[in-house]
Structure formats: structure tokens, C-alpha cells
Amino acid sequence: MPRAAKETKATKATKAPKAAAKTGSLEFKNFEPYKPKRGEKYMNEQQRAHFRSILLNWKSDLMQEVDRTVSHMKDEAANFPDPADRATQEEEFSLELRTRDRERKLIKKIDSTMELIDSNDYGYCEACGVEIGIQRLEARPTATQCIDCKTLAEIKERQEMG
């Protein structure tokens, strides 16, 4: 491989975490993917600890974002004399609060996922009982359905919505 191509790949690799960090608090890329050993039992204690760590870090990031929003809204709150400026600020706050509300719901989902880990039910599809899979869970740690059941549920939802 030419030297320039190696540098490009290295440059992209070093830029990726920064880009992920800027996309918002819903990113949880700062973890080492779990590499199961040959013959290892699915959802053993090490795997559960791995996902518990991912979920706790994600929840911590979301809680920090909530704190930043509260302090930002306190600091930026002003009574602008111009109605357009006031409306702009109110819309900005409204969007922030809507985002925090979605994150609040996500925190609840993380908490319920932590309960599944504690009860040893984590990693299995709630619809059919099959293993969800480590890679799918690393992509979406709060997943409760295997990819097949989730796909079917989405197809049914689309058909019902019209």
C-alpha cells in the first residue's frame, strides 16, 4: 500500500472519534468491542459486565448533557426587548428541552436494560427468546428484540400506518 494511502487511513481513524463526539450525547463509541473466546457461553458474567459498563457510561454522558442544558438555559436566559430575538431564544430552548425529553426516555430505557442484566435476561429476544447477538447489542445496547423480530415489527408498523 502506498504511503499516502496509509496516512489517509490513519488520518481518518484519528478524526473519527472527534466527529462522533460532536454528533451528540447519543454516541457511545468509546468502548472496546467484546471479543468472545471460542466455546464461551453467551451472556456470561464478563459479557454482562461489558454491557453494564457501556450502559453506565452512556447514562453518565446523558446526565452530563442534562446538567449542561440546565446551566446553559440559566446562563443564556434573557428578556430581549425585540420580539424576534425572544422568539428565537424560546425556540432554541424548546428544541433543547425536546432533545432532553428524548434523552430522559432513553435513560429510563437504559435503567430497564440494567434491570434485565441484573436478572440475567439481557441479550435474549423478548419475542422469540433467541440470542440477540453481541454485535447487535454493541450497536444498540438497549435492544430487546433480535434483528428478525424487529424487522417484522417494523414491517407490521408500516402496514398499519398506511
pLDDT at 148 over 70: yes
What is residue 146's predicted lDDT score, i.e. its pLDDT?
97
Q: Half-sphere exposure of residue 112, counting CA atoms within 13 Å on the CB side?
A: 8
Residue 79 — pLDDT band, cuts 50, 70, 90? confident
pLDDT digits (tens, 9 = 90+) for 12-28: 333 333 333 333 444 55
User: For the chain, which residues make up each domain, given as ranges?
Assistant: 42-122, 123-162
Of 76, 30, 37, 92, whose CA–CA distance to 56 is shortest?
A: 30
Amino acid 157 reads E
Average pLDDT score over the chain: 84
Residue in the block written with cell 446553559? 72
pLDDT at 150 over 60: yes
Provide mean pLDDT across the span 78-86.
86
Q: What is the pTM of this model?
A: 0.75
Range of weakest confidence among 20-24, 60-64, 75-79 = 20-24
The answer to whether 70 and 144 are in contact (CB under 8 A) is no
CA-CA distance, 84 to 72, in Å (whole number)?
A: 20
Fold of 42-122: Four Helix Bundle (Hemerythrin (Met), subunit A) (1.20.120)
pLDDT digits (tens, 9 = 90+) for 116-140: 999 999 999 999 999 999 999 999 9
**What DSSP string runs through 92-125?**
HHHHHHHHHHHHHHHHHHHHHHHHHHHTT-TTB-
Residue in the block written with cell 450497536? 139
The percent of residues in the chain predicted with pLDDT above 90, rounded, is 64
